[in-house]
Structure 1
Amino acid sequence: MAGYGNKKNFVVSEQEIAHLDAMLKNIDSDISVAMSYVRRTQKLTFKELEKKFSGINGNTLKRYMQQSYQSMRPIHIVAAYSWVTMVPMTAFYYGFKIKEFYRGMDDNAVEALICLGRLPAEMLNQFLNMVCCMLDDQSKQEFLEFRQQIESEYGVIEDHREFLPPDTLDIKEFAIDYYRSVAVTARQFREEHNISVEMASRLIGLSEYQYHVLEDINKPVPLPVSIGFRVKLGFKLNSHANFTSAMTVFPEFHKLRQVQHVRDSLLVEALRRLKSHERGPMTKVLISLSELYK
């Protein structure tokens, strides 16, 4: 958890907690919209989706994607769904505004980016080189500087085939591994920053009892999807990916989240530097490539 920095005696105001409550009051509905949008964009049927999981049926997945569904959507379900669809988990928090995650992109470019999770690193690099050839000298230099900066911080684009999900993901086994990692890393984070259980529980919207359960590695229970975004916003973190760093059964999931950040950042930065009349044809290239790796 060293990457979080040293923020001793962290304090969150009542106004900040109230702001989080208001901002995320419709988070379950927003998540359902984003999950449904990704499914349609990737042209996944519920039958196909059902085959990608064990331990959960297609009807349950369908209910999670319905705005009218009133029950909680557990965060491990959204995490597993993000892995199977290879779409960054953070994108699902945007709901109706999922396109804001890919700021500056038109609808076609967003759809292409959502479908490119399985594109091999070599092909992605070739595409980025093609874009660079179309840029003027200044834009090209700025993009290369951006690439150098992000890769120095998060690592270079890797061939992420080893980080792909299993052909069939056991959702129950994934949930246990996910919540155990959250328990270990949440306690470490709280102790490093001298955050009381009372403060932590109020910030992420749980009772103190529920928060103690969250930190209990021997009692993994489903938690609301809102806790991920509340932690990220409330503690002003650049990412909440470190909370999956202690996964031992599915360590590939954590590594993929880092790889996804690099891939998406570079693609968006490259595409946004193209002229509008160039971006359309290049987006078509991306969509064609995505069809090869479903």
Structure 2
Amino acid sequence: MAEYGNEKVLVVSEQEIAHLNEVMKSLNSNVSAAMSYVRRVQKLTFSQLDKRFSGIQGSTLKRYMHQSYSSMRPIHVVAAYSWITMVPMTAFFHGFKQNKLYRGMGDSVVEALVRVGRVPTEVIELFLSMIFCMLNEESKQSFLTFRQQIEAEYGCMIDHSHLLPPDVLDINAFAIDYYHSIALTVKKFRHENNLSIDTISRVLGLSEYQYNILENPNRTIHFPVSIGFRVMQGFHLDAHVNFISEMKQFPEFHKLRQVQHVRDSLMIEALRLLGENERKSMIKVLMSLSELYR
């Protein structure tokens, strides 16, 4: 179970499913706001985005970023967008203002983390070393313990320059690879945790018929981004990165998601251990670094 982002899957109660259904009412709005926020912070035009994809029009992406757009946002499109922008996909599930990882740290840290996806790993290591030197002995030990734990689960913070998205991403090929991986890994997840199809389908907000399609590696049908949020919240997972571990045509995307999770987790934890004034200063440093690698 640890490979899916937690050590234990809890039994999902009727109350938890009801709460999940209630939370879902604002998910489309949060995802739209987050996608739009990333575009603005990274100063991307829709014309530029249109050139980064094949198989989807810029006008469609634009609709997905309108909070009033009532149709679903396919999970593979949000995943592809996260790769192009180099922002961890889990951030889009909550909307940046509500993400629990950033709570109490202010909007500036959110903007900084949105910007630093392309900053080389060795530069991030230097940034973390600067913060580490500012910590007291207790905080240093706390950070080292945290780093040991997260790297034991997801791997080390390796160089990710070879994991960047292609200049033009074929959204249709990406979708086939993405859903094929989900089909294989979600079935494995269900069996490993003795989950009935009734339970897992209800947690994901799908009918049993829809869920059986999701588990079929030979079918490629678009599913809403909500299934990613629901699997994390419903089963108390810290990440869902390993559900894409079986991607064959775009294996770099899975590896990047692992590296991103480690990078962001370490930066957030390091900044959290600083005092408020020190944190503000280091966030400014991070913002300056991001400008060098746009």
TM-score of the aligned structures, taking structure 2 as reference length: 0.93
Structure 1 stretch displaced more, 27-36 or 196-205: 196-205
Matched, 1:122 2:94: no
Counterpart residue type for residue 31 of structure 1:
V
- Structure 2: distance between partners of 1:255 and 1:28: 27
| Match runs of 1:208-219 below 5 Å | 208-219=208-219
Q: In the alignment, what sits opposite 2:198?
A: 198
- Structure 2: distance between partners of 1:259 and 1:96: 20
Matched, 1:93 2:96: no
| Match runs of 1:3-152 below 5 Å | 3-4=3-4, 11-95=11-95, 97-152=97-152
- Structure 1: distance between partners of 2:282 and 2:44: 24
- Structure 2: distance between partners of 1:210 and 1:66: 27
- Structure 1: distance between partners of 2:156 and 2:242: 18
Note if contact 2:2-2:8 (Cα within 8 Å) is conserved in structure 1. no
Counterpart residue type for residue 226 of structure 1:
S
Structure 1 stretch displaced more, 171-180 or 21-30: 21-30
Unaligned runs of 5+ in 2: none
Q: Report the alpha carbon displacement of residue 99 of structure 1 after superposing the two structures with TM.
A: 4.9
Note if contact 1:6-1:192 (Cα within 8 Å) is conserved in structure 2. no
Note if contact 1:198-1:208 (Cα within 8 Å) is conserved in structure 2. yes
Note if contact 1:32-1:67 (Cα within 8 Å) is conserved in structure 2. yes
Note if contact 1:50-1:58 (Cα within 8 Å) is conserved in structure 2. yes
Q: Report the alpha carbon displacement of residue 255 of structure 1 after superposing the two structures with TM.
A: 1.0
Q: In the alignment, what sits opposite 2:232?
A: 232
Structure 1 stretch displaced more, 84-93 or 142-151: 142-151
SS of 1:115's partner is: helix
- Structure 1: distance between partners of 2:150 and 2:266: 8
Note if contact 2:121-2:158 (Cα within 8 Å) is conserved in structure 1. yes
Counterpart residue type for residue 278 of structure 1:
E
Describe the superposition over 1:74-124 as per-residue Cα deviations: whole angstroms up to 9, x where unpaired. 010111111111111111111263453323422222211111111111111
Unaligned runs of 5+ in 1: none
Structure 1 stretch displaced more, 276-285 or 98-107: 98-107
| % identical equivalent positions | 63
Q: Report the alpha carbon displacement of residue 169 of structure 1 after superposing the two structures with TM.
A: 0.9
- Structure 2: distance between partners of 1:126 and 1:154: 21
Q: Report the alpha carbon displacement of residue 166 of structure 1 after superposing the two structures with TM.
A: 0.9
Q: Report the alpha carbon displacement of residue 2 of structure 1 after superposing the two structures with TM.
A: 6.9
Q: 1:47 to 1:227 in 2, by over 3 A?
A: same
- Structure 2: distance between partners of 1:96 and 1:106: 11
Structure 1 stretch displaced more, 149-158 or 45-54: 149-158
Q: In the alignment, what sits opposite 2:155?
A: 155
Describe the superposition over 1:217-253 as per-residue Cα deviations: whole angstroms up to 9, x where unpaired. 1111100111111111212223221110111001111
Q: In the alignment, what sits opposite 2:274?
A: 274
Cα RMSD (Å): 2.0
Structure 1 stretch displaced more, 115-124 or 198-207: 198-207
- Structure 2: distance between partners of 1:61 and 1:127: 34
Q: 1:55 to 1:149 in 2, by over 3 A?
A: same
Q: Report the alpha carbon displacement of residue 152 of structure 1 after superposing the two structures with TM.
A: 2.8
Note if contact 1:241-1:257 (Cα within 8 Å) is conserved in structure 2. yes
- Structure 2: distance between partners of 1:275 and 1:202: 43
Note if contact 2:53-2:170 (Cα within 8 Å) is conserved in structure 1. yes
Note if contact 1:6-1:193 (Cα within 8 Å) is conserved in structure 2. no
Q: In the alignment, what sits opposite 1:283?
A: 283
- Structure 1: distance between partners of 2:144 and 2:191: 39
How many equivalent residue pairs? 293
Structure 1 stretch displaced more, 94-103 or 126-135: 94-103
Q: Report the alpha carbon displacement of residue 54 of structure 1 after superposing the two structures with TM.
A: 1.1
Q: 1:182 to 1:99 in 2, by over 3 A?
A: closer
